[in-house]
Structure 1
Amino acid sequence: MDELPIGRRVAYWRGRRKMSQQVFADRLGKSKSWVDKIERGVRRLDKFSVLYEIADILQLDVQLLLGKDPDRRSDALNCIDQLEVDQIRAALERYDALSAYFDAAPYPPMLSDMRKAVNHAWLTYQYGRYGMLTRALPKLLRDAQAADAAYGADDQSREAAHLLGQVYQIASSVLRKLGDSELAWLAADRAMAVSQRADDQLLAGIATTRVGNALLAMGRARSALELNLRIANRLAPGGGNDASPERLSVYGLLLLQAAMAAARTGDSATVDDLLDGAQEAAHRLGGDHNHYWTCFGPTNLKLHRAAAAVELGDGGRAVETHLAIDPPSFNGLLPERRAHHMLDIARGFAQIGDVSAAGEMLVRGDRLAPSEIRCRPIAHEVMSDILRRTRGAPSAPIAELAEHMGVGI
């Protein structure tokens, strides 16, 4: 498909997402005529900002729209350092809502600006640019907190709370990735509290998965399992609940995270039951989507099947699941998801004794989202294991990656 004009590639992926031109145009904020002209090549699509937005709506890597392999990013890579952690902690420890009770901020951030900043932060996270994100998080946290405090008694209060809840979730997610599980738990707990003021059960459901992930990282798998299951049961489609794509996505992700917690406890039967429930939700959803920034759908479900197998110590099953994933569907996922999966499969190959293939998975993951491999403690553990078990010298790509990661050979 690389030789196709860019408009044809847009049309192809729009069709893969089962999205009409009108729906696509509405989400993009353009007319149906504009979309039609782009897809037929009558109008040029040469603004990267628009390409980036299209890629977000279609839930794929922008490089696919450009006819290129979704490979290594050119942006500079930096992992989080202690100074950035301290700045994020300071921002999380602010109590602007209480201060505003006594003295409201005279010039709060505009919500339109906050929406753009939060969307950009989500994309930065899902493209695996953790260093860039952690540098931006302290200010984003302060701005979102100030907006939430300033609009606390206004008609815009729910949206301000919703945006703050999202920022807390972003902070929790990246902090957990980078190994600060306790601070990740604090941010996730804040997200759950704010989501109640935002009056959005689905936002609270996603915040629950962040809390569960933090608990899991702290070794509290049983608590994570029970929490995810309890909220999943309350949000399940049916009864008084609708079966909207958003609800299916949030409900499905809760089941996936519960399955990961069950896998950590070694309960394979519960894992299978939860994954089957998530599969039903993914089937009803009908494709891979990014509602509420969940990246939920049939392909992500398969990624979690492989990850759960790794947690259960069944590397062979994880590798089999990986090999059965449809490449175009996999390439349509955002970089963080794909690189995370490569890390999981590296662990799977290591479990079955194929350390060469394990190293290759880390190298492939690094090409997709370097921060996911170079900055995560679990990836360092895997690389150390690979080097320790490799007979003779490792291959040049693995040795080079190990050097970048700071893992000694």
Structure 2
Amino acid sequence: MKPTGRDVDPLDRAFGQRVQRHRKERGRTQAELAASLGKTSSWLSQVERGVQPVQRMDLLQQIADELGVSVQQLRPDAGGSDSASRTPTAQTLSNDLDETRRLLSGHPALGTVLTPPEEDGAPPSLDSLSSDVDDLWELTHAGQLAQVSELAVQLLPLLERAVRVSPGNQQAALYLLLSRAYQALSAAFVRQDEADAAWVAADRAVFAAERSSNPLHVCASVFRMVQAFVRLRSLGQAEHAAQTAIRALEEQRSDSPEALSVLGSLHLALALVRARAGGRTEAKEQISKAREIAAQIGANRNDFNLEFGPANVEIQAVSTAVDLGDAGEALDIGLGIDAVELSAERQGRLLMDLGRAHAQRRQGGEALECLLRAEAIAPEMIQTHQAARGAIRELVLVAGPSASRELLELADRADALD
């Protein structure tokens, strides 16, 4: 329940006043800022008056990004114990990767740099570390982000130490494991909508891949960086990164399935960039190029954990069509995809985008069914993906008083009505 005018929380009132001050300093109207957030002017007015609390961390971050300030400048209590006690649901959603984020901020290599090797014992075996990195990727694909964080906090310092103290003949293999671990974390941070951390992880993945002398892993790491740039809405940087890697791969002219998987994935990433920029023709051109590469490979693969292949290209084609507002095309493509052999994340993404397409066509029942199936397969996607919450919010608004209990419960679980 929202507070009445007589019992507005002082913290919410102070937060709203800060939002209003920063908005006015930047010469933006309530309507402009609300539109950039995907909200109404009425909602933002209530926020600035303290009547509408903003408790979800990703929404706090989005407001801060739009105003060009930090979350702490808007809400100094955002990381404190009072915040945790007031908003347990928001904390649960935002903290899955917090320990890993803190580890990245301090850099897990520092302990090794400052501790003589002989004082810290021998590092784990190469086989043991390889098994742990495989587990990290399995957890990432399964969307078990809390477990990803728990394993990463233990694994990254071990890998950073191993590449510095192990024999020279193991260096390349260890740097490759380190790159794979950072790639997994970048993918996990993108799923949690923490794009700045995803960028840091991807950058470290690129560096480690270079040291491993594996150019394909360098390009796979660049793919992760492109995903982070898209979430940061830095489309120019995303475009440049993707194009640079594509040109480098095309110059190699390799027709190995591994090289083609990376090249095709980068074309899909570039399609996403073009779609977000409103380039309908350009986005579809990139999808067509990816289709040609997938047909050349002829099967769904998981080289570099990219899950590239014919099915994944069509899943991306659905997502691109929805982003461009082509709901009918998205449904025509999506209903013919067999994604049963793909990861839970890919299956959930397809169902989420089909739900968005049905929502665009005002087919509320079909949209709800797809979104519920997506939640059953990949629940964190519904909780953290802005597009999913936007579709749910739209369904509730369109349904009005006749919104079903199932829809309202889904909106509550996704915090879609904040």
TM-score class, shorter: 0.7 to 0.9
Q: Distance in 2 between matches of 1:204 and 1:231?
A: 9
TM-score (norm 2): 0.72
Residue deviations 1:339-387 (CA, integer Å, cap 9, x gap): 0122222222222222332222110101212222234344223322221
Q: How far did residue 87 of structure 1 move?
A: 4.1
Q: Distance in 1 between matches of 2:258 and 2:105?
A: 28
Q: Distance in 2 between matches of 1:297 and 1:318?
A: 18
CA RMSD of aligned residues (A): 2.3
Q: How far did residue 334 of structure 1 move?
A: 1.2
2:140 pairs with 1:140: no
Structure index of larger Rg: 2
Q: Secondary structure at the match of 1:287?
A: coil
Q: Distance in 2 between matches of 1:168 and 1:83?
A: 16
Q: Distance in 2 between matches of 1:345 and 1:378?
A: 12
Q: 1:240–1:208: structure 2 CA closer, same or farther, 3 Å change rule?
A: closer
Q: 1:131–1:163: structure 2 CA closer, same or farther, 3 Å change rule?
A: same
Residue aligning to 1:310: 322
Of residues 191, 216, 219, the one that matches 1:205 is 219
Q: How far did residue 124 of structure 1 move?
A: 1.2
Show structure 1 runs of 4+ deviating over 4 A.
Answer: none
2:365 pairs with 1:356: yes
Q: 1:200–1:103: structure 2 CA closer, same or farther, 3 Å change rule?
A: same
Residue deviations 1:11-53 (CA, integer Å, cap 9, x gap): xxxxxxxxxxxxxxxxxxxxxxxxxxxxxxxxxxxxxxxxxxx
Q: Distance in 2 between matches of 1:247 and 1:83?
A: 33
Residue aligning to 2:109: 96
Q: 1:87–1:247: structure 2 CA closer, same or farther, 3 Å change rule?
A: closer
Amino acid at match of 1:282: A
Q: Distance in 1 between matches of 2:143 and 2:260?
A: 25
Residue aligning to 1:128: 143
Q: Distance in 2 between matches of 1:92 and 1:245?
A: 36
Q: How far did residue 80 of structure 1 move?
A: 4.7
Q: 1:127–1:280: structure 2 CA closer, same or farther, 3 Å change rule?
A: same
Q: Pairwise mapping of residues 336-351 of structure 1 onto structure 2 (< 5 A)?
A: 336-351=345-360
Residue 112 of structure 2 contacts residue 160 of structure 2 at CA under 8 Å; is this kept in 1? no
Q: Secondary structure at the match of 2:173?
A: helix
Q: Distance in 2 between matches of 1:185 and 1:91?
A: 11
Q: 1:128–1:87: structure 2 CA closer, same or farther, 3 Å change rule?
A: closer
Residue 366 of structure 1 contacts residue 373 of structure 1 at CA under 8 Å; is this kept in 2? yes
Q: Distance in 1 between matches of 2:311 and 2:92?
A: 28
2:263 pairs with 1:251: yes
Residue aligning to 2:296: 284
Q: How far did residue 99 of structure 1 move?
A: 4.5
TM-score (norm 1): 0.74
Aligned length: 326
Q: Secondary structure at the match of 1:333?
A: coil
Q: Distance in 1 between matches of 2:114 and 2:377?
A: 46
Amino acid at match of 1:369: A
Residue aligning to 1:232: 246
Deviates more, 1:333-342 or 1:239-248: 239-248
Q: 1:372–1:162: structure 2 CA closer, same or farther, 3 Å change rule?
A: same
Q: Distance in 2 between matches of 1:196 and 1:149?
A: 15
Residue 109 of structure 1 contacts residue 146 of structure 1 at CA under 8 Å; is this kept in 2? no
Residue aligning to 1:190: 204
Q: How far did residue 211 of structure 1 move?
A: 0.6
Higher relative contact order structure (alpha carbons within 8 Å, sequence separation ≥ 6): 1
- State percent identity of aligned pairs: 24
Q: Pairwise mapping of residues 363-382 of structure 1 onto structure 2 (< 5 A)?
A: 363-382=372-391
Amino acid at match of 2:174: A
Residue aligning to 2:186: 172
Q: Distance in 2 between matches of 1:356 and 1:169?
A: 38
Return 5+ residue gaps in structure 2 as ranges. 1-90
Q: How far did residue 101 of structure 1 move?
A: 8.1
Q: Distance in 1 between matches of 2:110 and 2:257?
A: 33
Q: How far did residue 408 of structure 1 move?
A: 4.7
Residue aligning to 1:161: 175
Q: Distance in 2 between matches of 1:183 and 1:142?
A: 17
Q: 1:140–1:387: structure 2 CA closer, same or farther, 3 Å change rule?
A: farther
Return 5+ residue gaps in structure 1 as ranges. 1-77
Residue aligning to 2:277: 265
Residue 131 of structure 1 contacts residue 371 of structure 1 at CA under 8 Å; is this kept in 2? no
Residue deviations 1:169-197 (CA, integer Å, cap 9, x gap): 11111111112111111111111111100
Q: Distance in 1 between matches of 2:364 and 2:395?
A: 5
